């Protein structure tokens, strides 16, 4: 049976992933914060977007490739940064990096990845982006940024939406740690997910590969995470962002913007683009979705300024909805990890294949020949 038969959609991949991954890891991946209203809102807003097809027209095959930020991509989507991805499935980042390179779409590696940034850059090649949680210690920040530059990354994705510690109730209830602390509860969850347990045994327990050189020698893994969280959870000032812009020689994208004033400030500082994001509904439960603020931010930054959105996307139809609504590009995170957890090594390639096929199908149904034409099919 082919992968298309077994996993025709991301919903099918998610169902399988939930049967293969321990609950504490799946809760971290799929959960939000508080009552998870923001998490639900991301999906609800997408579902409300309607596209109006045209059927009486000449046949034109849809073109789904794009040029974005000066580079060719085979589709208008990329792999969002997701910390701890190796906890959900061993070497998930490596799998997605290889797939992104093969399919010519961006792959963004998280600072809190369980894969070191040098290896990810080799695997993803020129498709690699690096997502930075900026340390508030200038020396530590410079050490990390220099590594990113030396590795050959051209695009830095600076996340600004972690100004204060959060209370994610699922993770607190699960006592989430990396590596997982073996209580009776976690032992049972692992024992009932033998595929995950065996893969983790073979590949090794996940570690914060990018953080190890930045913490005091001899620090335990769990303490290292706490050390770096404390160093990165804070507001970033306009001056700090300007210094980072001046320091970084490549493309700089600011991730986590929802406020129009922040968007204008970032543009004025010289950011090459923005990711409008509520951090997957994981930071503030009352925050709007990226699509709810897209029109306002587009109005203040102008039609030609690159805007990316993330949050809740699960299909090529969702990609089309976002582009039709005024986004230039989109990032997906959870969807790709569901695919890898469900399928393993072939998960990354299959996920990108499904998204491309769904996007082309949607555009074909609409009678839309090019991505730039999608806004014309948005139902008012």
Q: Which two tokens stand for residue 63?
A: 């073109």
Output the DSSP codes for 312-357.
S--SHHHHHHHHHTT-SEEEESHHHHHHHHHHSTTHHHHHHHHHHH
Cα distances from 111 to residues 65, 131, 148, 165, 212, in angstroms, run 28, 6, 10, 17, 11
d(CA 380, CA 377): 9
CA angle 142, 276, 95 (to 5 degrees): 65
Torsion of the alpha carbons at 118, 119, 124 and 126, rounded to the nearest 10: 30
Which residues have a Cβ under 8 Å from the Cβ of 3 and sit 6 or more positions away? 343, 346, 350
Residue 195 contacts residue 289 (beta carbons within 8 Å) = no
The two most distant CA atoms of the chain are separated, in Å, by 69
Rounded to an integer, what distance in angstroms lies between the CA atom of residue 165 and that of residue 180? 21
> Strand, coil or helix: what is 183?
coil
Choose among 83, 63, 82: nearest CA to 74: 63
Q: Which of 67, 103, 279, 353 is catalytic?
A: 279
Q: Is 279 a catalytic residue?
A: yes
CB 312 within 8 A of CB 331: no
Q: Regarding beta strands 128-132 and 155-159, do their DSSP bridges make them parallel or antiparallel, or are they unpaired?
A: parallel
Q: Just list the catalytic residues.
A: 279
């Amino acid at each position: 049976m082919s992968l298309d038969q077994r996993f025709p959609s991301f919903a099918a991949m998610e169902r399988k992933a939930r049967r293969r991954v321990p609950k504490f890891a799946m809760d971290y991946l799929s959960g939000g914060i508080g009552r998870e209203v923001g998490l639900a809102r991301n999906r609800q807003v997408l579902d409300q977007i309607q596209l109006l097809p045209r059927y009486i027209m000449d046949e034109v095959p849809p073109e789904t490739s794009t040029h974005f930020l000066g580079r060719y991509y085979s589709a208008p989507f990329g792999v969002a940064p997701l910390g701890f991805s190796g906890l959900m499935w061993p070497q998930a980042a490596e799998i997605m990096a290889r797939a992104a390179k093969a399919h010519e779409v961006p792959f963004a590696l998280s600072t809190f990845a369980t894969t070191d940034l040098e290896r990810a850059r080799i695997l993803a090649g020129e498709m690699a982006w690096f997502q930075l949680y900026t340390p508030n210690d200038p020396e530590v920040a410079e050490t990390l940024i220099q590594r990113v530059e030396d590795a050959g990354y051209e695009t830095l994705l600076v996340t600004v939406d972690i100004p204060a510690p959060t209370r994610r109730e699922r993770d607190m209830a699960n006592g989430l740690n990396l590596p997982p602390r073996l209580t009776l509860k976690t032992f049972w969850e692992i024992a009932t997910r033998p595929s995950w347990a065996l893969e983790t045994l073979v590949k090794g327990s996940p570690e914060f590969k990018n953080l190890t050189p930045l913490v005091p020698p001899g620090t335990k893994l769990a303490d290292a995470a706490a050390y770096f969280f404390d160093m990165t959870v804070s507001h970033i000032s306009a001056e700090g962002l300007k210094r980072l812009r001046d320091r970084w020689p490549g493309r700089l994208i600011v991730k986590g913007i929802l406020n129009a004033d922040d968007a204008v400030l970032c543009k004025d500082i010289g950011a090459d683009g923005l990711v409008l994001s509520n951090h997957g509904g994981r930071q503030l439960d009352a925050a709007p979705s990226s699509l709810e603020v897209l029109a306002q931010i587009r109005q203040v930054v102008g039609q030609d300024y690159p805007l990316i959105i993330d949050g809740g996307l699960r299909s090529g139809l969702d990609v089309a909805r976002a582009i039709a609504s005024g986004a230039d590009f989109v990032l997906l995170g959870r969807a790709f990890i569901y695919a890898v957890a469900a399928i393993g090594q072939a998960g990354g390639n299959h996920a990108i294949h499904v998204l491309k096929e769904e996007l082309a199908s949607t555009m074909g149904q609409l009678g839309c020949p090019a991505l730039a034409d999608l806004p014309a099919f948005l139902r008012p």
